[in-house]
Structure 1
Amino acid sequence: MTVAKQTGNLRTFLFLSLACFLYGWSVTAIGAVQNAAICQTGDISASKFECLAISDTSYSFAVGPFFAMGGLLGSLIIAPYLGNKEGWNNLSRVAFSGFASLVGQVIIAMTPFSSLLFVGRFLSGISAGVAIVSVPIEFERMKDSEDSYLGLLTQISIVSGLTTAQALSLVLAKPTLWRLMPGIAGILSGLQLLLHRKELPLPTDDHEEEEYRPDLSILDVFRDKEMRPNLIKAILLLASQQIAGINIILFYSKMIFNSDLISMGITLVNLVMTFVTVLVVNRLGKRSLFNISYIGAIASIGVLSLSLDRSYIITSIAIYIYIASFSIGLGPLPFDILTSLSTEQTKNSLTSIGLSVNWLSNLAVSAAFSILVSILDKKLIFALLFLFL
């Protein structure tokens, strides 16, 4: 491989990884600084810069449901539209996600008005939705073989973003300083756009032809009887990831558990176990890992519903077992499996469908939790989740 191709590969790798890193960052960064971002006094000015005049419930809706609504729009409508636009490919779509992220993060970092927090989170969701449809497809195309680690790199990048944001929030969760969280994400979004300007084509000639083949539309995929079994698998796979409750833990970990250490431990366990998956997936197989992951998640949610507010130690152990279980299967495998369920012509549409179901499930879970947390005891919420699973 020539130096030019190696450089192109590295730039493409960084460009794609950064998009998923920003996805992970956006999931947890604003939720992690909630206490600092919300004004605590009653006589507050709407133009106060160190905090926002917003209630806990409204802030939670901006953090979760509005982000998920943006993600749904990005995955279901914007990503397919850009994919069918002349002169656009997956790399162009990832660049668009960087631009949407840049605008959204700058709005959150600079606005003194709580209403614009919803706008910023919605744009961040659009960015995440477009990126999560486009990036796994490109990583799949870069794989040298079926056992390549690149298939899991989407989740590794997301979890790295989660962990970094959670760690920085321990320092920046203070009045005014909390705005550095979206500010840093804005800088990273700008870097992503700069990488796209210099980014070289992927170093395999036949991909250039594949990029311009006409894709089947989302409606065509639903009508295709041969694709129907894989379509059902994709829907169930991506729905199960969110219904398992991971974003309840990630979005609201500090609000639920009131502990920076538990929140940081959650993301560290998530990161470590995601890397463990890379090491064991070829030995154990994707199906076995996914089943182990789902059973472990259900069991730990059940324990959590009984131990919450009763035993700090048991609750902490249950949380870490849940995160470890999720991270070896439910977290990384759906993105990898999804791209393998489709042909080249159905890849964009099937990925959009699967990720749209993922966002819908995310939206339903986060919206339900935002409502239930104000009227039900947290133990009852996790008990309901256990029964549903």
Structure 2
Amino acid sequence: MNLGKNRFVIIIATITAIGGLLFGYDTGVISGAILFIREAFTLSGTAQEIVVSAVLIGAVIGASISGVLADKYGRRIMIILAAIIFGLGAIFTALTPDVYTLIAGRIGVGVAIGMASFIVPLYIAEVAPANIRGALVSLNQLAITVGIVVSYLVNYYFATTGEWRWMLGLAVIPSIILGVGMYFMPPSPRWLYSRGAMDKARSVLERIRMTKNVNDEMKEIRESLICEKECKWGDLLDPVVRPALIVGIGLAIFQQLTGINTVIYYAPTILLFAGLGSAAASILATAGIGVINVLLTIVSILLIDKVGRRPLLLIGLVGMIISLGLLGMAFALPGLSASLGWLAVICLMIYVGSFAIGLGPVFWLMISEIYPLRIRGRAMSIATLANWGFNLLVAITFLSLIQFLGTPGTFWLYSIIGVGAFIFVYALVPETKGKSLEEIEAIWLMGKNPDEIKEKVEK
């Protein structure tokens, strides 16, 4: 990577990725805060699920409207708007007088999360040069995991006093940094071109590439926009692209139904169930789990173009299946009660680490690779909505499942779903390592499995 030539675009991606950090922070902070919110407002299990899941209702709304708004008003403007909503949501939830306004504030924060989940990687992808686009877009996923860890550490700092309002309210600081930082960032050249501002698009592209030689990239932008204009929603049902749509939506669903966000949202609660001392001890152990998430995400980013997508998905799923099975067994065997808390911590670390290697980052990368260009934007928005919808389903049913199936049964259910995910990946998900987007698209259109591409290209 030429740091000198790409210096400005790296700065842009880093500032923009604060949106991912806020995504992670507001996702993870509720895991510790809920331990004290439930006491403050005397919440039942169902009420706790609603407080935790309210942010996901907003996220579904934010993800569903962000594409249209980003196309109309621009990526940069919408990220600034998301930063404002993040900041106002932090203040609103910190000052809430009752659980109902807390839920309303969490829905507002969720709208910002949904917007950030779609627009932040889109903006980074559109300003990044092709040779470092994957690394810079992955920076957003890394920022999400860092945001989760930061939220856990903030939770731990305030755990002894139970100041949940500070836990929620401190998100205003990165919100201000994001909003002010994005004010000085350039609009997406691709968006400018789509609005007819060709000269300004060229000027921005020359600035962020630090060269006047941008003719080829301007041509690529024009061709891709022409291709997208020819797309209709009905094209998503075309038999030749249906396999790609199934793969994307399937990965989106399995990423959530294997239970990852039960850990993100409820890890301290799970560890308290396991008898791990105080709320502070549970939150500290959760922070350790978050660090594992960050480190293994970095490992995945380093390996993904060397080992491939499918191996990381399959290896990660095996780790998730085994760790979930062992976690359920630990809760099921009364003789392990004395050491159950630390067994739960170890199982959750293996589980989160396995997710961070596979389904976590690989899902987001693959949905940007497997779709033909003309339907890529719409197909990715459907996969993103499916992901958020099933995220909501898992979060809002976790405590109820524990009441209905018991703690062991709930984790065994997630483990069984993990087996289904392994079969799905093994049977249907192609390997896209080393294949250009054009090669993948050509094979889908031929009705062939993308794994055959190497053989055909060599011939």
TM-score, normalized by the shorter chain, greater than 0.5: yes
* TM-aligned CA deviation for residue 356 of structure 1: 0.5
Q: Is 1:80 aligned with 2:67?
A: yes
Q: CA RMSD in A?
A: 2.8
Indicate conservation of the 8 Å contact 1:297/1:321, yes or no.
Answer: yes
C-alpha distance 217-257 of structure 1, shift in aligned 2 (>3 A): farther
Q: What are the equivalent positions in structure 2 for 1:4-23 lying under 5 Å apart?
A: 8-23=8-23
Q: What are the equivalent positions in structure 2 for 1:316-327 lying under 5 Å apart?
A: 316-327=345-356
Alignment match, 1:341: 370
Deviation digits for residues 319-353 of structure 1 (CA, Å, limit 9, x no counterpart): 22111111101111111111122355433322211
C-alpha distance in 2 between matches for 1:129 and 1:218: 24
Q: Secondary structure at the match of 1:145?
A: helix
Q: Normalising to structure 1: TM-score of the pair?
A: 0.87
Residue in structure 2 matching 1:168, options 154, 171, 174? 154
Amino acid at match of 1:262: A
Residue in structure 1 matching 2:105, options 94, 99, 120? 120
Indicate conservation of the 8 Å contact 1:270/1:323, yes or no.
Answer: yes
Unaligned runs of 5+ in 1: 40-50
C-alpha distance 170-215 of structure 1, shift in aligned 2 (>3 A): farther
Alignment match, 2:29: 29
Q: Secondary structure at the match of 1:38?
A: helix
C-alpha distance 374-249 of structure 1, shift in aligned 2 (>3 A): same
Q: Is 1:181 aligned with 2:184?
A: no
Amino acid at match of 2:13: F
C-alpha distance 385-105 of structure 1, shift in aligned 2 (>3 A): same
**Residues paired across the two proteins, number:** 374
Indicate conservation of the 8 Å contact 1:57/1:370, yes or no.
Answer: yes
C-alpha distance in 1 between matches for 2:232 and 2:267: 36
Indicate conservation of the 8 Å contact 1:72/1:126, yes or no.
Answer: yes
Alignment match, 1:369: 398
C-alpha distance in 2 between matches for 1:21 and 1:217: 33
C-alpha distance in 2 between matches for 1:216 and 1:241: 31
C-alpha distance in 2 between matches for 1:137 and 1:224: 25
* TM-aligned CA deviation for residue 36 of structure 1: 2.4
C-alpha distance 210-72 of structure 1, shift in aligned 2 (>3 A): farther
* TM-aligned CA deviation for residue 221 of structure 1: 4.5
Indicate conservation of the 8 Å contact 1:52/1:112, yes or no.
Answer: no
Indicate conservation of the 8 Å contact 1:238/1:355, yes or no.
Answer: yes
Q: Is 1:332 aligned with 2:361?
A: yes
Q: Secondary structure at the match of 1:350?
A: helix
Choose between structure 1 and 2: higher helix proportion: 2
Alignment match, 1:354: 383
Amino acid at match of 1:340: E
C-alpha distance in 2 between matches for 1:273 and 1:26: 21
C-alpha distance in 2 between matches for 1:172 and 1:349: 42
Alignment match, 1:269: 292
Q: Is 1:133 aligned with 2:118?
A: yes
C-alpha distance in 2 between matches for 1:78 and 1:89: 13
Amino acid at match of 1:280: L
C-alpha distance 190-4 of structure 1, shift in aligned 2 (>3 A): farther
Unaligned runs of 5+ in 2: 188-204, 273-281, 419-459
Q: Is 1:242 aligned with 2:231?
A: no
* TM-aligned CA deviation for residue 84 of structure 1: 3.8
C-alpha distance in 1 between matches for 2:326 and 2:18: 36
Indicate conservation of the 8 Å contact 1:156/1:275, yes or no.
Answer: yes
Deviation digits for residues 62-105 of structure 1 (CA, Å, limit 9, x no counterpart): 11x22222111122x211221342xx233333223222222222
Amino acid at match of 1:30: I
Q: Secondary structure at the match of 1:342?
A: coil
